[in-house]
Structure 1
Amino acid sequence: MTAANFERALALALVHEGGYVDHPADPGGATNLGVTIGTLSDWLGRPATKAEVKALTKATVAPIYRRNYWNAVRGDELPSGIDYCVFDFAVNSGKGRAIPSLQRALSVADDGKLGPLTLAAAASKDAGQTIERICADRLAFLRRLSTWPTFGRGWSARVEGVRAEAMALAAFAVPTVSVETKPLAPPAPRNSGSPVIPPVPAAPVVQTGGLWSALKSLFRKVA
């Protein structure tokens, strides 16, 4: 549950998305670093060209991923591991698929509205179990697509990679610990003049000679 996870999630997503492609079987058309020509057109507010899609870099696509996908699934507010799992699903298939899948995994109403109830359920339930359920649901959805014969192998590898990485993020998440602190006791009052120097305890004095003389005197009186 940390904004820092976005950088990691984006880097992992871009590995799966790859570079520029324009596959005739891909309904998204020209795509580079996972950003389709349609997505780029929406971002620019005008029709984008294939040349502009080819020119995309990791730096230029990061804000698109942040607004369109990470923020859309409220990644900063989801538990670590679940944030990446839902984010990558949204990147691959849209938030309209990813959010209801999260909700089904949490056994809450899958209305596609990621609000306080969904966030509370995500925080209270086992992250590993939630991740497993989302990935299983995601794979089942992909298998139903007509393009599964063409892209199924790659999709399966991607979902398995997401599952493994999400589990690792969840396992290494640092829980928030509330530590109760008490104010320090105020220092003891002291004079404004010379500094107070604590006295040095005197070493014990053993007078063996005086003791022996007293004992001898006592013995003489007894005798």
Structure 2
Amino acid sequence: MDRNFARALALVLKSEGLWVDNPADPGGATMKGVTLTNFRRYVKADATKADLRKITDAQVATVYRRFYWDATAGAQLPSGVDYAVFGFAVNSGPGRAAKYLQAVVGIKQDGRIGPATIAAVKAKPAGVVIDALCDNRLGFLKRLPTWKTFGKGWSDRVKSVRAEALKLSALPDTPPPVTVEVKVPVDKPVVPEKVEQKVKEKSGFLSWLTGLFGSGAIGLGWLAGMDWQAVLAGGVVLLVLLLVLLLFRSQIVSAVRQIKAEVAE
């Protein structure tokens, strides 16, 4: 699968190392596994060995994707199988890796991984395909005349590819969704200026009524020490205050309702 390319490349590069120019190696000079021939093909046509030694990570990824991953249909193969084929292609060429994969799944070995090959691969358990491909790959390497020189390293490499490919095959094809909690700041409600002004006006009116009742209460306390005529006069004052309260009751209720409505807007 295409999402496995970065991981597959990182695994391959662990085995490739850095600069290698061993006359006994049929691949010739390589830097991070990239041959001078492929570097010239995909990056710089007139490159020298000195240019190859300065290859960038982006250039490395370009060569591996175009010459190995895309050439073996890595994006369409099941997880694990993609890496096993990719690793084989890097060591022995994409054409040979494709033919060996086709041999494992029992179809015509034309060296091109197309719809028929992909369907045949998906019809088999990924672990079975990986094991068979790695076994056949190791058998091919053992038949090479340079096995005595490089056999130990090749054997360890195939063993590592098999183990990592089987791990990849056990992962779900679709990664679990990622849930991200986003906190949205909420501003404290601000009372509009016009509403605040009206609240003050209504509050002033209510304060006036409260002060009026307070004055009446003081007056009653003063009248308590007077004769019955004075007490009668005080009663009249109290009655007047109660009448004022009843008259303005509807206005008070209306004012409170109006304030609530304006705040809610």
Aligning the two structures, in what range does the TM-score lie when normalised by the shorter sequence?
Answer: 0.7 to 0.9
Say whether 1:41 aligns with 2:65. no
What is the aligned-residue RMSD (CA, Å)? 1.4
Say whether 1:139 aligns with 2:138. yes
| 3-state SS of paired residue (2:50) | helix
Which residue of structure 2 lines up, in the alignment, with residue 78 of structure 1? Answer: 77
Which residue of structure 2 lines up, in the alignment, with residue 5 of structure 1? Answer: 4
Which residue of structure 2 lines up, in the alignment, with residue 129 of structure 1? Answer: 128
Provide the rounded CA distance (Å) in 2 between the counterparts of 1:174 and 1:73: 19
Provide the rounded CA distance (Å) in 2 between the counterparts of 1:57 and 1:15: 16
Code of the residue aligned with 1:39 in structure 2: it is N
Provide the rounded CA distance (Å) in 2 between the counterparts of 1:5 and 1:44: 23
- How big is each residue's C-alpha offset from its partner over 1:167-201, in whole Å with a ceiling of 9 and x where there is no partner? 0000113369xxxxxxxxxxxxxxxxxxxxxxxxx
Identity value in percent: 53
| Matching of residues 19-30 of structure 1 within 5 Å | 19-30=18-29
Which residue of structure 1 lines up, in the alignment, with residue 173 of structure 2? Answer: 174
What TM-score, normalized by structure 2, do the two folds share?
0.64
Code of the residue aligned with 2:125 in structure 1: it is D
Is the contact made by 1:28 and 1:38 (CA closer than 8 Å) also made in structure 2?
A: no
Q: Which has the larger radius of gyration?
A: 2
Say whether 1:162 aligns with 2:161. yes
Quote the offset at 1:45 in angstroms. Answer: 5.4
Quote the offset at 1:38 in angstroms. Answer: 1.3
- How big is each residue's C-alpha offset from its partner over 1:94-147, in whole Å with a ceiling of 9 and x where there is no partner? 011100111111111112121111110111111000000100110010011111
Which residue of structure 2 lines up, in the alignment, with residue 17 of structure 1? Answer: 16
| 3-state SS of paired residue (2:2) | coil
Quote the offset at 1:27 in angstroms. Answer: 1.9
Is the contact made by 1:86 and 1:99 (CA closer than 8 Å) also made in structure 2?
A: yes
Provide the rounded CA distance (Å) in 2 between the counterparts of 1:44 and 1:56: 9
Is the contact made by 2:36 and 2:48 (CA closer than 8 Å) also made in structure 1?
A: yes
| Matching of residues 79-118 of structure 1 within 5 Å | 79-118=78-117
Which residue of structure 2 lines up, in the alignment, with residue 205 of structure 1? Answer: none
Aligned length: 175
Provide the rounded CA distance (Å) in 2 between the counterparts of 1:67 and 1:99: 15
Code of the residue aligned with 1:160 in structure 2: it is K
Provide the rounded CA distance (Å) in 1 between the counterparts of 2:44 and 2:35: 14
Which residue of structure 2 lines up, in the alignment, with residue 52 of structure 1? Answer: 51
| 3-state SS of paired residue (1:110) | coil
Provide the rounded CA distance (Å) in 1 between the counterparts of 2:173 and 2:28: 41
For structure 1, list consecutive stretches of 5 or more residues without a partner in the other structure.
Answer: 177-223
Higher relative contact order (CA 8 A, sep 6+): 1
Which residue of structure 2 lines up, in the alignment, with residue 200 of structure 1? Answer: none
Q: 4+ runs of 1 displaced by more than 6 Å?
A: none
Quote the offset at 1:57 in angstroms. Answer: 2.8
Normalized per residue, which structure has more helix?
2
- How big is each residue's C-alpha offset from its partner over 1:58-88, in whole Å with a ceiling of 9 and x where there is no partner? 2221011111110000101000000000011
Provide the rounded CA distance (Å) in 1 between the counterparts of 2:58 and 2:40: 17
